[in-house]
Each structure stands twice: as C-alpha cells, then as structure tokens.
Structure 1
Amino acid sequence: MDVIQRVCVYCASSTKCDPIYRHAATRLGQELARHEVVVVYGGGGVGLMGCLADGALSVGGTVIGILPNFMQELEWGHNGLTDLQLVADMHTRKRLMIEGVDAVIALPGGCGTLEELFEAITWKRLGLYLNPIVLVNTQGFFDPCLELLERCVSEHFMDDRHRAMWTVVDEPEAVIAAIQQAPPWDSAAWKFAEV
C-alpha cells in the first residue's frame, strides 16, 4: 500500500491504566497526523481515545469521531474534533469506523477494544474487510491475545495462512511502515476454504 489516507483506530477510554499506554496513544496520533492520515476512532474524550485525538490534533491532524447518542448524552464525547458524528447505536458506530479505511490499528484496551479487533479479524477472514490490521503491542500487552490466536491455528480452528491477517509492532512510530508492508489479503482463495 503506497498511500495511506484514512485509518480506523481502536483504543480504550480508561484513565486508570499505566500512563505509558496513554503516551503511546498520543504518539500514534501525532505520527498519523504527520503523515497526513485521517484518524477515525470512537469519538471519546478521555483515556487512550482522548490522547490519540489530542495527539493528532496537536500537529494539525484530521480526527473523525463516531459516537453513539447515548455516549454523547453522558458527555463522553471529545469536544475538539474535526468532525464528531453521532449515530444511533454501537453497531452503526463500528460499521462506520471501519468503512472505507486503508487500515485498522488496535491500541491496548478492554473488552470493547478487543471485541472490535476480533470483529475486524473476522471480517477480514470472511472477505468483508481486506486491508491491514496492525496491533500496537505496547509493553507486550497483546502477547496473551497473540498466544490465543496462535493456539487457534495450532488446534486447527484457523488455518496457517490466517496469521497473515494481522501485523504486530512494538512502537507507534512503526505503524505506517507496517501498513505499507502488510501482505495483500486474497480473500477470494480463502473465503470459504475449510481450515
């Protein structure tokens, strides 16, 4: 992939996690903005979500938040975004976040972040989403997740080829190169293949 225009970032709203995770989110936002990549994320104003958005905005980036109405009513939304789109529900939010992006990036997070990540991997497996998926493995956060995915392969719930659906980097500054170097996904050959 030569030109990256727009990415979706999954990340947490927790303010209680180790500050190293929030710092990594800020750095990712800045890195994407410096490469003129539009950031699409869940629209939150605190935790890693707020840090990601603030990082991108601090260097002139474009940030689009997709937020369900009930979260806006709870005042969870970021007030300084380029564009905050309010939607009816979580399903619409997730669909709009991934629609038309050149890559999906996952920062550390809780059950919501993990659910979004696994949905993206599932959609890629089914040929509904074909672009890179990059996990930013700050402090080895995703190691247990990667071990579980590896077990899925070794126990034959997934095929060896499915390992190519995601890429792992240790630092936010490695994300752009990981997207550019990700192997193309040929869904036509594997879409309904048995594992």
Structure 2
Amino acid sequence: MKLLRVISGQARGHPLRTVPGNGTRPTTDKVKEALFSMIGPYFDDGERVLDLFAGSGGLGIEALSRGAGSAVFVDSNPKSVEVVRRNLESTRLADKASVYRNEAKRALKALEKAGRVFDLIFLDPPYVMKDCDALLTEIAERGLAAEAAIAVVEHHPDVSYPDAFGGFERTRSAQYGDIAISIYRYESEQEASDGTTMNTEEANER
C-alpha cells in the first residue's frame, strides 16, 4: 500500500495510508505542500474544516496538523472511511475529527441539520464529477460556509469552473501535471452589500 506523509505541523513527517485500489486519487505531497502554501500555511483561529470527498483524509489531516481546530471527513466508500480513521488515530488527531460514511449531498443535509459551519472546505471528488460549483453553491445555501470561508477544488485541467458563483470568487488557481487547483473565497450577499468585498489581490495575500 502506497504511503504519503503529513507535510508540516504537529504530525509532520507522519506516514499516511492510502485507500487500496484505483478508486481514489490521493493528493501528492508535492501538490499538498503547494496548496497549503497558498491557503495557510498554518492556522490558529480554531478553523473548522470540511473534507467532503475525504479519500485517505490527507487534506483534512494536513489542516489539523497545521493548527485547524476541527475537521469533518465524509466519504461514501467504506474503505476510505476505515483508512481515514486509521490515519487520524496514528497521527493522534482523532479527538479533533468526525468521520462519516455518506454520499456528499446527503451529508450536506445532515451537516445543515446539525448546525455545522466551516471555514475551510476541500472538494477533491472523482474526476468524473464536474459539478463542484453546484456543490459549493449548495454548501452556501445551506449555511455551511462561514463568512470568508476558503474552498479548495481539485479537478482535471480540462474541467473549467467559473471565476465566481453563489457567493464564491476564485482567488488563486494552479496546475501541477494532470491536477488543477482552484481556490475560492466565500462572501455572503449581506457582506457584499455592506461594501466590504475583498479584492483578488488582497485574498491572494491571505
């Protein structure tokens, strides 16, 4: 079984198990390091993380290791759920995490009912899925996105997402081989109407 690792923070250097088979596509260490250099790289305000297509849990675990306060991991694959739990236990981050086996849209309904809100959202679905913009819009409509939340979408370079939709505005994008990353910042309509919009350059400096 291929092993990745936690790049930085509390669990730095700790190996992470990946899900057996070809059904998942774990984010490589190189891409993960570049991604967190853009959105972090460290957290200290109790950030609440949602890893919606968790796979092995590498992105959410990296955020926890770097100081995020809590994380919810969701995946419909029972093997993925098992691997996420084992990785959380081995990195000693399980006390900050909740892991659910569920389909993404059903999970969003349950999280809304539970009153959860997130500051950092990871969407790394199978490449056959090309509706991350619709998922993020639903996340916002259900009140799951905190003001100024950051959303990270991993997708195939051939898939193009809008620069803005549903209160989300793209602030950064990058491509690493056959992996593309789009980073969005969320601003509610109320916040926008108050005239406190952060422009793209300011968002890039976060």
TM-score by length of 1: 0.49
The structure with the greater share of residues assigned to strand is 2
TM-score by length of 2: 0.47
Report which structure shows greater RCO (CA 8 Å, sep ≥6).
1
The structure with the greater share of residues assigned to helix is 1
